């Protein structure tokens, strides 16, 4: 069965262009032209992905994201004409999984859509609760991390960061989101604490810490766990965000 994608876009022309792109890729598409309709359609149809425009009248895309993220783990790809970094960070903090700026190229849009839908396919609950991604194994019950066949020793804070990223490969987490997950494990944590955890984890889980392939930086935003063979975003770098 083809994935169902909900498009929330108030501009009829833009909505039709998006629908044509997605239809051409074989996805089932549904269009909502305002925020309230998008929330209703998401609740009624339970789509596999929401492509959500930020700039909508009344209930805007940020409000839609805030409402739906309390109810569902459905991936959300935000479309934004805003260049303000604070707006982008707010969207990610509210639970958006990725964003793309307008104007966008059809190829990049489809690459982002495919990446998010692949992540959904991989997110089938595992009976043993163990997370496995490209030779990396994270066992939350045993509090163990394995790289290939090697057991890796991690602090509680490092483990929490890694387990959070491994639970949703490819999703970008802001430092603030990761910081909230580690509260209680670290003493007086700050966002720089997250950078230190990532630096130490790279030494433990990367084949070459100088060229990380697992723990990727998304410049100006935060971190994600790399997805094998998935398209790479031009915003990724090897150093701290």
Structural domains of the chain, count: 2
Pairing of strands 173-174, 4-8: unpaired
Q: Which of 101, 122, 143 is the last residue of a domain?
A: 122
108 and 199 belong to one structural domain: no
63/102 same-domain check: yes
Q: Which pLDDT band holds residue 232 (cuts at 50, 70, 90)?
A: very low
- How many CA atoms are closer than 13 Å to the CA of 16, on its beta-carbon side? 3
Mean pLDDT, the chain, rounded, equals: 83
Are 105 and 137 members of one domain? no
Residues 28, 87: one domain?
yes
Question: From CA 138, how far away is CA 221, in angstroms rounded?
Answer: 24
Shared domain check, 109 and 32: yes
Q: Are 75 and 143 within one domain?
A: no
The CA distance from 162 to 215, in Å, is 9
Give the structural domain span for 219: 131-237
Across the beta sheet with 173-174, the strand order is 173-174, 222-225, 215-218, 236-237
Q: Looking at the structure, tell me whether residues 101 and 145 fall in a common domain.
A: no
Average pLDDT of the segment spanning 100-105: 85
| CATH code for position 151 | 1.10.10.10
pLDDT tens digits for range 58-79: 899 999 998 998 887 788 999 8
- Whether residue 132 has pLDDT greater than 60: yes
- The sign one gets for the Cα dihedral 170, 171, 176, 177 is negative
97 pLDDT higher than 60: yes
* 190-201 burial: b if 16+ Cβ within 10 Å, else e: eeebbbebbebb
Task: Evaluate if residue 3 carries a pLDDT over 60.
Answer: yes
Residues whose CB falls within 8 Å of the CB of residue 164, separated by 6 or more in sequence, listed in order: 173, 177, 178, 181
Domain boundary among 54, 87, 122: 122
86-114: average pLDDT: 82
- Do 109 and 39 lie in one domain? The reply is yes
Q: 183 and 115, same structural domain? A: no
- Domain check: are 102 and 169 in the same one? no
- Give 72 or 39, the one with higher predicted confidence: 39
DSSP code string of the chain: -PPEEEEE-S-HHHHHHHHHHHHHTT-EEEEESSHHHHHHHHHHH--SEEEEES--SSS-HHHHHHHHHTT----EEEEE----HHHHHHHHHTT--EEEESS--HHHHHHHHHHHHHHHHHTPPPTT--EEETTEEEETTTTEEEETTEEE---HHHHHHHHHHHHSTT--EEHHHHHHHHBTTBSS--HHHHHHHHHHHHHHH-SSTTS-SSEEEETTTEEEE--TTPPPPTTEESS--
pLDDT > 90 in the chain, percent: 39
Backbone angles phi, psi at 23, to 5 degrees: -60, -40
CA distance 103 to 58: 23
- pTM: predicted TM-score of the whole model, two decimal places: 0.57
CATH, residue 42? 3.40.50.2300
Residue 123 scores a pLDDT above 70: no
- The reply to whether 198 and 113 lie within a common domain is no
Q: How confident is the model at residue 127 (pLDDT cuts 50, 70, 90)?
A: very low
Omega prior to 103 cis, within 30 of 0: yes
Q: Which of 55, 90, 122 is the last residue of a domain?
A: 122
Asked if 69 and 166 sit in the same domain, the reply is no
pLDDT tens digits, residue range 186-195? Answer: 555 677 889 9
């Amino acid at each position: 069965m083809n994935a169902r994608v909900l498009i929330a876009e108030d501009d009829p022309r833009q909505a039709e262009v998006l629908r044509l792109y997605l239809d051409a890729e074989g996805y089932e598409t549904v269009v909502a032209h305002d925020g309230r309709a998008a929330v209703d359609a998401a609740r009624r149809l339970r789509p596999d992905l929401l492509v959500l425009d930020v700039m909508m009248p009344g209930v805007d895309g940020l409000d839609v994201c805030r409402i739906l993220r309390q109810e569902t783990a459905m991936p959300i790809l935000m479309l934004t004409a805003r260049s303000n970094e604070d707006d982008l960070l707010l969207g990610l903090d509210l639970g958006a999984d990725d964003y793309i700026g307008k104007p966008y190229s059809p190829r990049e849009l489809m690459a982002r859509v495919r990446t998010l839908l692949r992540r959904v396919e991989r997110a089938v609950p595992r009976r043993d609760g163990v997370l496995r991604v490209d030779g990396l194994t994270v066992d939350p019950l045993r509090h163990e991390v394995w790289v290939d066949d090697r057991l890796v020793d991690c602090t509680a804070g490092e483990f929490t960061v890694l387990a959070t990223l491994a639970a949703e490969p490819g999703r970008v987490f802001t430092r603030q989101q990761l910081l909230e997950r580690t509260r209680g494990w670290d003493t007086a944590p700050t966002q720089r604490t997250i950078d230190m955890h990532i630096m130490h984890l790279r030494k433990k889980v990367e084949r070459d810490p100088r060229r990380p392939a697992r723990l990727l930086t998304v410049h100006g935003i935060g971190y994600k766990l790399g997805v094998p063979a998935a398209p790479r975003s031009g915003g990724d770098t090897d150093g701290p965000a």
